[in-house]
Structures are given as C-alpha cells and as structure tokens.
Structure 1
Amino acid sequence: MRSWGKLGFGWPARIAGLLLLCFWFGASIGDDTPAVPAQVLVFGDSLSAAYQLPTEAGWVAGLRERLAERAPDRFEVTNASVSGETTSGGLSRLPEVLETGDYDWVLLELGANDGLRGLPLTRIEANLQSLIDRVEDHGARVVLLGIMLPTNYGPAYAEPFAAMYERLAETNGLPVLPFLLDGVASERELMMDDGIHPNAEGQERVLENVWGVVAPLWELDECSVQSN
C-alpha cells in the first residue's frame, strides 16, 4: 500500500487530512444543535386578548407559561389578538402579522364579533375559509377555535353559526375546539358583568379547553408532562 509520503503529500497535508477525518467522524456521530422552537401564533379577538385584564391573566399567557414549564424550549407563543376584531379585519391584518415570524401553528379564533353584529353567515364562513387558506399558504397548520352566540340571538341564526366551525374543520381537515367558552359562558361567576368575556378565573378554564385540543397535537400527553 502506498503511503501519503510516496504519493507526494507532506506532513502539513497529512495533518489537514486527519483534521478533515476527525471533523467528518464527529459530524457523523450527531449534531447537538438545539432544535428550533415551534412558533405558535394566536390570532383572535377580545376573547384571546385578555379583555379588561392584565395580559398575564389571559389564557394565551397561561398557555405560554404552561408550555415553558412542561415542554421547555419547544414552543414560542405570539399573541396577535385584537379586541373588536372581525373576520374582515383579520383578513386585512393577517398578511402583515404572518410576516413577523416563521409560524408553524396558528390558533385561529375569529367570528364572534361578526356574529354579534348579525352579519350574513355566508360572508363569515367565506372570510374564515380565506383566513385558513392564507395561513396554510404560509406553511402553518391551523387549529380552529370556535365560538357560540348567546341564546337571545335565536336558534335560526345561532345554531348554524355554531355549526359553521365544525363544518370548516371537517372540510379542511383541521383540529377544532367547537366552543372556546365551553363550561365558562354558562357560569356567571366565571364571566364579566357584560356576560360575553371571561374573567380571570374563567380564563383559566378557557386555557384547559384549548389545552385539551393542542396537547395531543403537540405530543404533550400525561407521560411527557410527568417527565418534565
């Protein structure tokens, strides 16, 4: 077998070759670079914007805190919710918001203000579909957070409004929380005096509702929780 010397390589070349071999071997063992956290965007209205509460009392802040405790460094949560937002306003605002990050997940919570204004259901659904399309075009996955209207809106409007979210979820193959305020809106002690927005205690229950949907998606089952 011919040696490097006989092939005309001197000691500097031999050392360089050994360094290259060590680099290749080290790289083959594995890369210890930390994984990039998944980027989560919450895009909603006052129900997600901690309406009339300190930001840290809202369910989104609670989600951020829980993820930091139970899945350290795996997620980063951005809240781009605005009180009073409608689906039309969301459509206008979404492109700029999406430019602020490389989002993996978008928790979409809009439509309540449209419904409270009694806007045509066909328009609300079309806007929500456009929002879903734009998020998916961005490369993110949508979790649809639905809402229901107060009973005084009547079943002719309120029932198809509620069904709209599950229909959109089925059509687009999305995970869905049918009613964000499930177990909250019906409990006066968990709601503000306006009967529309959850108080601080109600926000904690909203967090549990959202967690029940996202935890399985993000593989945050009980075993992983206990191990952290």
Structure 2
Amino acid sequence: MLALLFALQAMAEPGRILVMGDSLSAGYGIDLEQGWANLLQEKLRDQGYEQRVINASVSGETTTGGRARLEKLLTTHSPTLVILELGGNDGLRGQPIKIMQSNLAAMIETAKSHEAQVLLVGIQIPPNYGARYADAFSDVFPALADEYELALVPFLLEGVALDNNLMQNDGIHPKAEAQPILLDNVWRVLEPMLAQSGSK
C-alpha cells in the first residue's frame, strides 16, 4: 500500500530537470539568477511547463568529477531529464579525449539507467590548443549523440564565443548579456523534447 502511495505521489509531482555542467552553466562571473539555467526555469514557467530545474553545475568541474557526483544526484532528485554540459575543462586542461568521452558515455548510461532522458550539450575549445586536438574534442559530442540516440545542442556558445562584447575578459566565460542567447541555443533542442513527452 505504501509503495502504491509513493508511486502515485511521484506521478503527481512535476518533473525535474537536472543541469549537470561546469562554469558555463554555474554562472561564473555573473549573478546566479542571470545564468541561463536560472533563465530556463523562468522560460518553463512562462511557457506553461511545470518542471523544476535543479542546477548542479560546479565551476571547474571536469567529466571525471561529474561522473563521480552524478549517481547521488540522480538518486536524490530523480530527474526526468538531464542536461549534460561537461567537457570544457577537460579540454582546457588538455586531458586525453578518450577519457573525456568515456566519462560522458558513463554518465549518459547512468542517467538512462535511472530512466532519465539526456540532452547533450556540445562545447568547443580555442584553436590555440592545436587543430587536431580541438577537432577531435568537438567531434566527441555528435559521436556520443549518434551512439546513444540523444538530442544534441551542437555548441552552447553559438553566437556568443566570437563576440567580445558578450564575453568576459578571460575570453572563456560569457557575460550576463549573453545568457539569453545560451538559453535560446538550449531551448531550441529542449522544447521539442518536452512537447513530445507531453510535459505540460
């Protein structure tokens, strides 16, 4: 009887969206409420969706750190969807591509084992890391999306990364003014997923 009550309660609760990212999703250098993940919560509400956004992003996070944290987050929050935005710090530290790809694959499989959909968010690194490394890095995201049949945001910073007016002085992190563009990049892919699942 208790199991049935818990099941009914879970069905009645709004879905949760877990954002698993690094500084690009944690709002580095800006007020937290200005970040795209916080703007996503407002967008969902304005569009009539009931999902609650849980932003578990951590500045400086690597795929290794995210992989270590994910299981507990999934167990604690039981999200219906995971937005996976990690890998940038692996690239900036010159970590082996195979390790990053293996970690992301493990996180995708872990999320799926908890019956959560995954939206994979791609990122690119500056070309000064070498064209061969930068290209191999960028190729990881569409390759994983194809392998696991995932929705993919090709590049989170599309329309932002090359605009100095939208980037902080470090050339890596977007300003507050850029956050609505980041949200649009995510929303274009996320909204069809929500509509298909009948989440309203």
TM over 0.5: yes
Counterpart position of 1:44? 21
Higher relative CO (Cα under 8 Å, sequence separation at least 6) belongs to 2
Q: Share of identical aligned residues, percent?
A: 47
SS in 1 for 2:18: strand
- Between the aligned partners of 1:127 and 1:204, the Cα distance in structure 2 is 29
> Could you list the runs of 5+ residues in structure 1 that have no partner in the other structure?
1-33, 221-227
- Between the aligned partners of 1:46 and 1:168, the Cα distance in structure 2 is 22
- Between the aligned partners of 1:100 and 1:42, the Cα distance in structure 2 is 14
Amino acid at match of 2:27: A
Amino acid at match of 1:199: K
- Between the aligned partners of 1:52 and 1:164, the Cα distance in structure 2 is 27
Counterpart position of 1:21? none
Counterpart position of 1:68? 45
Counterpart position of 2:6? none
- Between the aligned partners of 1:121 and 1:44, the Cα distance in structure 2 is 18
Counterpart position of 2:142? 166
> Are the equivalent residues in 2 in contact too, given 1:162–1:178 (CA < 8 A)?
no
CA RMSD of aligned residues (A): 1.5
- Between the aligned partners of 2:78 and 2:19, the Cα distance in structure 1 is 13
TM-score (norm 1): 0.79
> Are the equivalent residues in 2 in contact too, given 1:51–1:197 (CA < 8 A)?
yes
Quote the offset at 1:35 in angstroms: 4.8
Counterpart position of 1:58? 35
> Are the equivalent residues in 2 in contact too, given 1:40–1:77 (CA < 8 A)?
yes
Q: 2:54 aligns with which of 70, 78, 87?
A: 78
SS in 1 for 2:20: strand
Counterpart position of 2:78? 102
> Could you list the runs of 5+ residues in structure 2 that have no partner in the other structure?
1-10
Does residue 196 in structure 1 map to residue 184 in structure 2? no
> Are the equivalent residues in 2 in contact too, given 1:183–1:205 (CA < 8 A)?
yes
Deviations 1:99-137 (A, max 9, x none): 221210000000000000111111110111011111111
SS in 1 for 2:26: coil
Does residue 124 in structure 1 map to residue 68 in structure 2? no
Counterpart position of 1:150? 126
Q: Which has the larger radius of gyration?
A: 1
Count the aligned residue pairs: 187
Does residue 186 in structure 1 map to residue 141 in structure 2? no
- Between the aligned partners of 2:24 and 2:171, the Cα distance in structure 1 is 12
Deviations 1:42-95 (A, max 9, x none): 0010000000211110000000001111114x2111000000000011111111
